[in-house]
Amino acid sequence: MGELKLCCLGVSHKTAPVSVREQFSFKGEELESALLKLNALPSVEESMVLSTCNRVEIYFTTRSETPFKEVIDFLIDEKGADLDQINSHFYRKVDRDAVRHGFYVASSLDSMVVGEPQIVGQFKDAFSLAKELGTIGTVLCRFCETALKVSKRVRTETGISKNAVSISFAAVELAKKIFGELHGKRVAIIGAGEMAELAVKHLMTNGASEVFVVNRTFERAQKLAQEFGGKAFPLTELETVLKMADIVISSTGAPGYVLTPENVLPALKERKHRPMFLIDIAVPRDIDPALNDYEGLYVYDIDDLQQVVDANIKERLREAEVAKEIIEGYVERFMKWLRELEVAPLIAELKEKAESIRKEVLSKRLPKLGLTPEQEQEVDNITRIIINKLLHQPITSVKRKAVEEEARNQVVQIFREIFGLGKE
């Protein structure tokens, strides 16, 4: 029987286009069925499948000298793929590399957007399904629990998920800097761009109280307002809306400027110069850049927002380096545990043999000594202490050597020979 290995066979946004990733994805009942079939493979001891939009990864343990062969054959049969496809797009990771990769994935360091929160929930779901179906055991259970612990530490001890890395979230971040908090702030959306709608949703999630929708087509304005629980206005009532709105998001696609000093400044005066945050997500631009020159107006176009996003991405990548240091410590501890686990049966066998000899000798010798029950108990305790002290050093040594991959097999063999283990 070979050495236990923890492996990962996977494909992700880094190694394959979506057309390939979707071919290998598993969903719903298909995922359950595939996981059960996978775990029934002769060489697979434990298994878990993580299947998301951006990745499909199979984590498994095996003692096979060719650890990936059966799992690859399974994928070929299950998905109608060919070996060239898998060789071109799939990565194979074993032991330390697999553990590190899994911890990176759970902590979102391997995500398309570093720091995104969705992956940890997806990882938890994959872990829960494997537990529910009984395809996971001691090793992968410990691996998943550690990965989730690592993910939590990375999120709480680094700034990897703190800064906005999408245009719509950047708008929220800037709004918070301008107003402090968004509770009670009123938002106007002009036009119906998807990015603008998403920004409004994020603003409302973060406390904005009311939404006004202005559109050249009033029916479209009504439909969108209904989605937000807001009020619809035709474009002819834009100036009325500007007087009420603290945050204005414009995305019309109109040929000229929609917001100009002529219609914004009267609204600002009516508001007694309370600040207005104007967000221009349109190309060509909807908001006249001249409005930047007036106090109380904060004007950002899509390039400004993109600069915020780019700066935040750089900051996240810096924080990712801190996260990697945290992860590396957990990788070392997990690998130490895994290798010690490998020699656990050997240690148990030694302890069992020592206890058997101790009991055999005591059962023959104690009755001849004529001791009281209390004295017999004390002799029993003394012999246990002697056995424990005698075995402590060799057990500690074999555990330590178990972590050293080059020396492990040789040390285990010597250990067996010295103590006569594995023999009749």
**Of the candidates 148, 153, 87, 93, the residue with the CA atom closest to the CA atom of residue 121:** 148
Distance between CA atoms of 334 and 147, rounded to whole angstroms?
A: 10
Distance between CA atoms of 51 and 21, rounded to whole angstroms?
A: 9
Strands 5-12 and 55-62: antiparallel
Distance between CA atoms of 272 and 317, rounded to whole angstroms?
A: 42
Active site residues: 53
Q: DSSP secondary structure string, 132-167?
A: HHT---HHHHHHHHHHHHHHHHHHHHS-TTTS--SH
Distance between CA atoms of 365 and 263, rounded to whole angstroms?
A: 106
Side-chain half-sphere exposure of 305, counting CA atoms within 13 A:
27
Q: Answer for the pair 139, 95: CB distance below 8 angstroms, yes or no.
A: no
Distance between CA atoms of 211 and 203, rounded to whole angstroms?
A: 10
Distance between CA atoms of 86 and 76, rounded to whole angstroms?
A: 8
List 6's β-bridge partners, or say none.
61
**Of the candidates 36, 43, 104, 105, the residue with the CA atom closest to the CA atom of residue 72:** 43
Question: For residue 140, what are the CA distances in angstroms to 18, 324, 327, 337, 384?
Answer: 28, 21, 17, 12, 35
Residue 258 DSSP class: S
List 7's β-bridge partners, or say none.
60, 94
